Chains A and B, each alone.
Chain A
Amino acid sequence: DSGVTQTPKHLITATGQRVTLRCSPRSGDLSVYWYQQSLDQGLQFLIQYYNGEERAKGNILERFSAQQFPDLHSELNLSSLELGDSALYFCASSVAGRTNEKLFFGSGTQLSVL
C-alpha cells in the first residue's frame, strides 16, 4: 500500500459526459501528480501540483483540468469525454516535488467511456 488513495476505482460513463477523479496523497506529501495510461500511449504525465499551485504541465488536454485543495487532496476533471479518453488514470504524490524525491503512486482509476 503506497498510502495514495484514488477514488473511484472504476468509472463507466458515456461520450460527452464529465467526470471527476479524486486523489488523496500520502500523509505529509505536498505535491501531487496526475498520469494517464492508455494502451497505445503508455504512461503520460498530465500535470503536477505543489501545495495548491500548479508546478508543471504535461500532455493535458484543454478538456481536462485539475486542482489541489487546501487539505492537499486533488481532483482531475475530465469533460466532453471521448472514446479515446478511456484509460487508467494514476495519481502520485511526493513530499515537496523535488527532483531527488521518489513518487508514490495510487492504484489508479479505470475510466471507460462508452
Chain B
Amino acid sequence: DAKTTQPTSMDCAEGRAANLPCNHSTISGNEYVYWYRQIHSQGPQYIIHGLKNNETNEMASLIITEDRKSSTLILPHATLRDTAVYYCIVRGTDNDMRFGAGTRLTVKP
C-alpha cells in the first residue's frame, strides 16, 4: 500500500515557484522522505531527501512539517524542462523504494 498521498496533477507558471505537497501521515521516526521525478519515459531522477530537517540542494528545497506527517517540495524557479511526474516516497527499514502515482506537474509559459 502507498504510504504517501499526492495530488494527481498541478500547473505552474514558468519562472514561478512550484510547491508540490505530499501527505505521509503514517510515517515512522526512522523513515526518510524522498522525491524523484520522471520526465516522459526516462529513468526516475533523484531530487532530494530528508528525515526531519528541511533540506536544500541545487535542484530544490524540501520542507518537512514538525510532526513529519507532510512535506512540500519546492522548485524555486520552474522552467518548462521541469514538466514531469514528481514522486514523493517514504522509505523505511524494509529498504525498498516504492513509488506511488505521483503528481504530474505542467509548467506553462
A contact set with B: CB distance below 8 Å: 2, 4, 33, 35, 37, 42-45, 48, 55-56, 58, 88, 90, 92, 97-100, 102-108, 110
The interface on chain B, measured as residues whose beta carbon lies within 8 A of the other chain's beta carbons, has a size of 26
Contacting A43 at CB < 8 Å: which of B32, B44, B45, B95? B44
Name A46's closest neighbour in chain B (CB-CB): B96
Chain B residue contacts of A56, Cβ below 8 A: 94-96
- Say what secondary structure dominates the interface of chain A: strand
Tally of A-B Cβ pairs under 8 angstroms = 63
**Are A103 and B46 interface neighbours, CB within 8 A?**
yes
Residues of B in contact with A (beta carbons under 8 Å apart):
30-32, 34, 38, 41-46, 49, 51, 87, 91-102
Residues of chain A within 8 A (CB-CB) of B94 are 56
**Cβ of B53 to closest chain A Cβ, rounded Å:** 13
Q: List 26 A-B contacts (CB under 8 A).
A: A2-B45, A33-B97, A37-B41, A45-B96, A45-B98, A45-B99, A48-B95, A55-B95, A56-B95, A56-B96, A58-B96, A90-B44, A98-B95, A99-B30, A99-B31, A99-B91, A99-B92, A99-B93, A99-B95, A100-B32, A100-B51, A103-B46, A104-B46, A105-B45, A107-B42, A107-B43
